[in-house]
Structure 1
Amino acid sequence: MTTRTGYSLIQIALHWLILVLIAGAWLLGDQMHGYEKLPATAALPLHGILGLSVFFLMILRLLLRLWLGAPPPPASDPKWQRRAATLTHWAIYALAILGPWAGGFAFYLRLDIAADLHEVLINLLIIAILAHTAAALYHQFVLKDNLLARMRPGGSRV
C-alpha cells in the first residue's frame, strides 16, 4: 500500500475555496447585526450565503477526507506535534460545519442561544485556522521541509 504524500486536486481546490469563503463570511459578519429585525421571509444576506456554502462544502470535504484519506503528519515531528496537528485538522472540520449550522439556526429560527453559539464556534474556528497556518509556515520556513507542497497544485501527490 502506498503512503500518501499529498492531497488530491479536489481536496486542494476545496481547501483554498473554503478558506476564501470563510474569510469573506468573517469579514461580512457585521452585516448580520440586527438580523432579528428582518422579516422571516427576508433574503439571506451574503454572510449567510457564504456560511451555507462553507457548511455544504465542508461536508463534501469531510466525506472526501474519509474516502481518500490524508497524508500523515511528518514522521520527524515529535509525537505531541503529530497529535496536535491531527486534533487541529479535525477541530477545523467540526467547527467549520457546526459554526455555519448554528448560524443557520440563529437566522432562520431567531434563536439567541444559536447566535451566541455561532459566534463562539466561529471565534474558535478562526483560532484553529491561525494555529494551523502558523504551524504550516513554521514547517515551510523554519524546518524547511516543504510541507506546503502537499496543499499546492503540482506539489506532492498520492
Structure 2
Amino acid sequence: MVAIPEETIDIEARQEATSRNGLRFDGKSRRQRVSASGQGRHGIIKHLPTRCAAMSYTNAVGIASPPADSRYDSFTQSIHWLTLLAVAIAFGAGLVMEEMPRGPEKAQLVNLHTSIGVVLMALTAIRLSWRVAAPALQPTPGPQLLRLGAKVVHVALYLVLFAIPITGLLMMAAKGRAVEVFGLFTLPPLMPTDRALAHSLEDVHEVLANLLLCLVGVHTAAALLHRFVLRDSVLSRMLPVGAKTEAERR
C-alpha cells in the first residue's frame, strides 16, 4: 500500500469543504485573494485620493459649463417676470390715461406710468449686470437660424426697454414737468422746456411702445414654439421650480 502524505490529505479535505460551500479553492485564503485583487479595505483607501481628485475636477468642469437643461437662477427668473409685470402695468396705464380728461386722476396715473418706467429702466440695468456676472447657460440644440433670431430679439428687447423710459423722461422734461417716483423722490427736468421737441418725443415714445409690444409677442411665440413644437427646455429654464425640465422628467 502506498502511503499518502498528510499534507495531500489536508489539501484534499479543504478542497472538498470549499466545494460544498460553493467557493473556488485556489490554494489561497480569502484574505489573501482580496488583498491581491486590490479590492480590500486597504486597497480602497489607497486609491481614495486619486478618485476624490478626479471627482473634484469633474465637478469643477460642470460648474464652469452648466448643462443645457439647467435652469436660470431664481434671481434672473424674478427680474424677468417683474419686468414683464412692469411692462404690462405701464402699457395699460398709458392706454387708459390717453382717454382721460385733464385732472388730478390723470395726473396720478401719469405719475404711476412714469414711476413704472423708472423701475423698468432699473430692472433692465440690473438684469444686464447680472447677465454679465452670472455664468451663462449653454444654448439648447436647435436650428442655427432660430438661435440667431433669439439673440436679435433679446438685444432689441434690451435696447427698447432702455429707450422707452429715456424718451418718456425727456418728454416730461421738455414739457417742463418733474417726475415724482412713487412719492419717494423727484427727478428734476433734464432739459429746458421745448413744446415742439416734447411732441416729437411723444411720437417716438409711442412708436417704441408699440415696437416693444411686437417684440414681446415674438418672444412669447418663440417660447411656445420651443415648448409645444420643438419640445425642448427653453421655456422651462425661466419657469418657477414647480415646472420640471425635460431632463428632470427623464
Partner of 1:49: 115
Deviates more, 1:43-52 or 1:142-151: 43-52
Partner of 1:147: 234
Do 1:31 and 1:47's aligned partners in 2 also have CA atoms closer than 8 Å? no
* 4+ residue segments displaced more than 4 Å: none
Residue 63 (str. 1) matches residue 160 (str. 2): no
Structure-2 separation of matches of 1:62 and 1:133: 20
CA RMSD, Structure 1 to Structure 2 (Å): 2.3
| SS of equivalent to 2:115 | helix
**If the length of structure 1 is used for normalisation, what is the TM-score?**
0.84
| SS of equivalent to 2:213 | helix
Partner of 1:23: 88
Structure-1 separation of matches of 2:136 and 2:156: 15
* Residue 217 of structure 2, aligned match among 105, 130, 145: 130
| SS of equivalent to 1:133 | helix
1:97 Cα offset (Å): 1.1
Q: Which has the larger radius of gyration?
A: 2
Partner of 2:152: 87
Considering Cα pairs closer than 8 Å and 6+ residues apart, tell me whether 1 or 2 has the greater RCO: 1
Could you tell me which runs of 5 or more consecutive residues in structure 2 were left unpaired when the two chains were aligned: 1-63, 176-197, 246-250
1:148 Cα offset (Å): 1.5
Structure-2 separation of matches of 1:71 and 1:112: 43
| SS of equivalent to 1:45 | helix
Pair 1:17–1:105, CA change in 2 (3 A): same
Pair 1:31–1:103, CA change in 2 (3 A): farther
Structure-2 separation of matches of 1:72 and 1:94: 23
* Residue 3 of structure 1, aligned match among 46, 51, 66: 66
**In the comparison of the two structures, how many residue pairs are matched?**
151
* Residue 165 of structure 2, aligned match among 95, 100, 107: 100
Could you tell me which runs of 5 or more consecutive residues in structure 1 were left unpaired when the two chains were aligned: none
Pair 1:125–1:69, CA change in 2 (3 A): farther
1:50 Cα offset (Å): 1.2
**If the length of structure 2 is used for normalisation, what is the TM-score?**
0.55
| SS of equivalent to 1:28 | helix
